[in-house]
Chain A
């Protein structure tokens, strides 16, 4: 089973709202990732968590706040977003971060629209 789940599937929010995206995997993976993908572009890495600790932050604006409560869950808290933040947000997980067990498995994504 290589399933990563994400909720919600779609989210519409205003620029003053606070919302959260959720990601879950039960494959025993110890690395989890957030990506942002704009239309007809490849995914762009935002954050990497390894063993529940933040390993990479790709200079993402502070209006995006990641959280990894345990090894199965990954959240992305959103606050005061801009319309240009509208995109498909993808969560991924891999057995380990780096090395030959780093094949990343992606969730279905959350389509975010900021009004």
Chain B
């Protein structure tokens, strides 16, 4: 069965304290892995798409990496404005549709 699991469920960091969020997936034939940021009451904001193991993408303080079983979202020297829920999603093996993980709620304290 296709599955996406994110950890930790919640994370509190001090400003400047780097950390990583994990997205583990079980699908047959990965057709992409997508990272989104979501602020409370708003729609998800697209961050990255990764397609192949070993691929990396960066944007400001965020860096996403992909292996054959999981993806990491590394946050370097976070700021309070990075506080949000971070979601990852992968398309299912059969009918093409996203499975979302349950997200990691990140809180960065000043």
B103 within 8 A of A: yes
Taken residue by residue from 20 to 52, chain B's Cβ proximity to chain A (1 for < 8 Å, 0 otherwise) reads as: 000000000001101010000111111001010
Residues of A within 8 A of B76 (CB): none
List residues of B (83-107) whose CB comes within 8 Å of A's CBs: 87, 89, 91, 95-98, 100-103
A104, B46: Cα distance in complex, Å: 8
Contact residue among A2, A98, A105, A107 (Cβ-Cβ distance under 8 Å from B96): A98
Question: Is the pair A90, B43 in contact by a Cβ cutoff of 8 Å?
Answer: yes
Of B46, B87, B98, the most chain A CB neighbours within 10 A belong to B98
Instruction: Return 8 A-B CB contacts under 8 Å, by A number.
Output: A2-B46, A42-B89, A42-B103, A56-B95, A97-B96, A102-B96, A109-B43, A111-B41
Interface size class of B (residues with CB under 8 A): 20 to 34
- A residues in contact with B49, CB < 8 Å: 103
The listed residue with most B CB atoms (<10 A of its CB), out of A4, A42, A43, A100, is: A42
Contact of B98 among A104, A109, A111 (CB under 8 A): A104
A43-B100 in contact given A100-B51, A104-B46, A108-B42 (Cβ < 8 Å): yes
Chain B residues near A (Cβ < 8 Å): 31-32, 34, 36, 41-46, 49, 51, 87, 89, 91, 95-98, 100-103
Structural contact, B46 and A103, CB atoms closer than 8 A: yes
Bin chain A's interface residue count. Answer: 20 to 34
Is A48 interfacial (CB 8 A cutoff)? yes
Given B32, B34, B102, which contacts A41 in the complex, CB threshold below 8 Å? Answer: B102
B100 close to A105 (CB less than 8 A): no
A2→B36 CA distance, assembly (Å) = 14
User: From residue A50, how far is it (CB to closest CB) to chain B in Å?
Assistant: 10
* Chain A residue, CB-CB nearest to B103: A42
Select which of A2, A100, A106, A109 is within 8 A of B32 by beta carbon. Answer: A100
